[in-house]
Amino acid sequence: MKRLLAVSSLLVLVGLLRPAAAPAQFPGIDKVIKVAEAQRAWSANEELAIGQATGAKLVAIFGLYEEPRAVKYVNLVGASVAQHAPRQDMKYHFGILDTEMVNAFATPGGYVFVTRGLLANLEDEAELAGVLAHEVIHTGERHIEKELRNRKMAGIAVEAGAEQIPVGELAHLADRVTNQLLTGKLSRDKENEADTRGLELAAAAGYDPRAFPEFLGFLGQASNEADNKKAVGNLTASHPKFSDRVKRLEEQIAKRGWDKEERPRLAERFQENVVFPETPAEPAPPGQD
């Protein structure tokens, strides 16, 4: 009897271990699958496609500033910083949005944009390198994707196994990312990571790392003036306090001994390449000189 009991028990155990014939045996399994799918990170191809679609939306909203020297220059500075980025499995692209808003954006897939308004408020190449390095970390570390998942936003999952994202789904995802970039904010830890690791990138590229916190300090002062609220309002709303960021970065600089080094700022080269042509004067009415 004992042996038969043991065999019977074994049969029961085997039955329990046998895989289910169909998901229908588990009520609610579809919901579990959807939750699991929502937590799946975008593949490299998905990341690129979503980044391209988001970049296209930003360009549609603001337009591109296409002065050849400035565009080439921003891309060269960006490339010098990006070659030291932790992620080297994707290409980095840099563009200038044609708006007086003072801001910069990093979409998934390596697309980084600075605004014409931001460029107009920079003093030198080292400050530009600091800004671009900050954004390179954002896109490289998938900060916007992680933020959307942390906030448990619906509609950011991509169906696994699809060769490409359906057009409608891609547009929806790009809308989500664009909205987060323009009106949302990243968590403090993600901004701090972009600040500290971005500083490392700028320093690795040979720039003075003190330039970036100096620019943040300038923005902090400017944001307190009523006339500047419109230009920098989104930047202050979507980031930690400038004063807190500056303090943290200055501590990092002192710890690394960078405050005792003399590194190039390249103000003259910046001013030679970042140009803003004067707006043509409107023609005088007929009969007037």
Question: Is residue 27 one of the residues assigned to a domain?
Answer: no
Residue 53 CB contacts under 8 Å (≥ 6 apart), including other chains: 170, 171, 173, 174
- Contact between residue 148 and residue 174 where contact means Cβ atoms under 8 Å apart: no
Question: Is residue 178 one of the residues assigned to a domain?
Answer: yes
| Encoded tokens for 118 | 């931001």
Name the pairing type of β-strands 111-115 and 104-107: antiparallel
Q: Please give the pLDDT value at position 13.
A: 40
Number of folded domains that form the chain: 1
Question: Is residue 4 one of the residues assigned to a domain?
Answer: no
DSSP the chain: -HHHHHHHHHHHHHHHHSPPS-GGGSTTHHHHHHHHHHTSPPPHHHHHHHHHHHHHHHHHHH-B---HHHHHHHHHHHHHHHTT-S--SS--EEEEE--SS--EEEETTTEEEEEHHHHHT--SHHHHHHHHHHHHHHHHTTHHHHHHHHTT-TT----TT-SS--HHHHHHHHHHHHHHHHH----HHHHHHHHHHHHHHHHHTT--TTHHHHHHHHHHHHTTSGGGHHHHHHHHHSS--HHHHHHHHHHHHHHHTGGG------HHHHHHH---PPPPPPPPPTT--
What is the domain extent for residue 78?
A: 35-271
Distance CA 258, CA 256 (A): 5
- Contact between residue 135 and residue 120 where contact means Cβ atoms under 8 Å apart: no
Question: Is residue 139 one of the residues assigned to a domain?
Answer: yes
| Encoded tokens for 251 | 């501590």
Residue 67 CB contacts under 8 Å (≥ 6 apart), including other chains: 275, 276, 277
Distance CA 109, CA 44 (A): 8
Query: What's the half-sphere exposure (Cβ side, CA atoms, 13 Å) at 285?
Result: 0
Question: Is residue 276 one of the residues assigned to a domain?
Answer: no
Question: Is residue 103 one of the residues assigned to a domain?
Answer: yes
Q: Which of 267, 255, 269, 137 is nearest to 193 (CA)?
A: 137
A 10 A CB-CB count for 172 gives: 14
Taking the alpha carbons of 179, 180, 182, 184 in that order, is the dihedral positive or negative?
positive
Q: Please give the pLDDT value at position 84.
A: 97
Question: Is residue 13 one of the residues assigned to a domain?
Answer: no
Distance CA 41, CA 156 (A): 10
Q: What is the pLDDT along the chain (289 residues), one digit of tens a residue?
A: 444 444 444 434 444 444 555 555 555 555 444 444 555 788 889 999 999 999 999 999 999 999 999 999 999 999 999 999 999 999 999 999 999 999 999 999 999 999 999 999 999 999 999 999 999 999 999 999 998 887 655 444 455 444 566 667 788 888 999 998 988 778 889 999 999 999 999 999 999 999 999 999 998 888 766 555 555 555 555 566 888 999 999 999 999 999 999 999 999 999 999 988 764 444 444 444 4
Question: Is residue 171 one of the residues assigned to a domain?
Answer: yes
